[in-house]
Amino acid sequence: MGKTSKIEWCDATWNPIMGCTPISEGCANCYAKRHIARFAGINKGYPDRPDVVQCFTHRLEQPRGWKGRKRIFVCSLSDLFHEAVPAGFVYKIFWEMALCHQHTFLVLTKRPKRAIDLACHMNAHKNICWGVSVENQARLEERWGAFCQFPSPRFLSLEPLLGPIYFDGLPTGSLIDWVIVGGESGSRARPCNPDWVRSVRDQCRAMGTPFLFKQWGEWAPESQLPYYLGDTPSGQSYFPVKEAHGERFFRMGKHKAGRELDGAEHLEFPRGLEGWPK
């Protein structure tokens, strides 16, 4: 389960846990929920339902056999610190990460408070990059205190970005080592305003923080259309149109929408991760 990944900021995924439950607005159209629902009840390697959290002991040692150095996204189809995951199983996962010192493990959670309670003291090995997922300003402020307690390196994943994010007023300094931003994908995706993305990019530049823009997602802003589609697809009726956030968006899927912001791609990595490009 996992290994090679198409996610722009990692090389592989590792899912010793699968299944999750919603905790905030960003969970509404969760990719993991859709993915698990496709195979639930069909594939024995999946939970019976997306909201059933299941631990798979036989997957714990998988990274040991992966050759080379990899950036590994831990629990891409769950949340390692979900309240239904036993503390003992969390410890086993951290033990495996400590053993596989050749890899870098990207641990991303929407539940940073439980992460602090369970696992931060286990980061003696510097091959763990701690991340918190936030989708708007309210969730940033809600999770910021716990995020600040994570050991470095630490990152923020603003995906799906559902509103403007401002770091002003927060004691940032050198606390943020990396910021990832992405629009939402899937049939019920919500458009992402380019002004929100541009603002985060500019704030990262001011802080000297690496910035990675993953995708526009399902909806492409008219002002950011990929060059190969011309200035506007207005005359191409096969692209559904939506007005939102003072901008027109065209539904063309994440691949055609691309990931260019103001005509450029932004795929920056923090020191220690940039040497293993996608």
Q: Are strands 247-251 and 241-244 parallel, antiparallel or unpaired?
A: antiparallel
Question: Does the structure show a pLDDT above 90 at 181?
Answer: yes
156 - beta bridge partners?
132, 179
Find the mean pLDDT for residues 207-218: 96
pLDDT score of 277: 38
Q: How far apart are CA 213 and CA 196, in angstroms?
A: 12
Lookup: tokens for 98: 């400590």
Among the listed ranges 33-37, 39-43, 99-103, which one has the minimum average pLDDT value? 39-43
Question: Does the structure show a pLDDT above 70 at 64?
Answer: yes
**Mean of the per-residue pLDDT values for the chain?**
90
> What does the pLDDT look like over 228-270, one tens digit per residue?
555 455 555 468 889 999 999 999 999 999 999 999 999 999 9
% of the chain with per-residue pLDDT over 70:
89
pLDDT score of 131: 96
The answer to whether residues 225 and 194 touch, using CB atoms and an 8 Å cutoff, is no
Domain edges within the chain: 3-257
Find the mean pLDDT for residues 65-93: 96
- Angle among Cα 250, 256, 259 to the nearest 5 degrees reads 95
pLDDT score of 271: 83
124 - beta bridge partners?
none
Question: Does the structure show a pLDDT above 50 at 278?
Answer: no
Torsion of CA 116, 120, 121, 125, to 10 degrees: 180
The answer to whether residues 212 and 204 touch, using CB atoms and an 8 Å cutoff, is no
Among the listed ranges 55-69, 109-123, 158-172, which one has the minimum average pLDDT value? 109-123
> What does the pLDDT look like over 116-133, one tens digit per residue?
998 766 655 689 999 999
Q: How far apart are CA 69 and CA 176, in angstroms?
A: 24
pLDDT score of 204: 96
Q: How far apart are CA 55 and CA 43, in angstroms?
A: 15
Among the listed ranges 9-18, 101-110, 118-127, 144-153, which one has the minimum average pLDDT value? 118-127
115 membership: H or E segment, kind and range: helix 112-118
Closest CA to 8 of 213, 157, 162, 150: 213
Burial degree of 173 (CB within 10 A; 0-12, 13-18, 19+): exposed
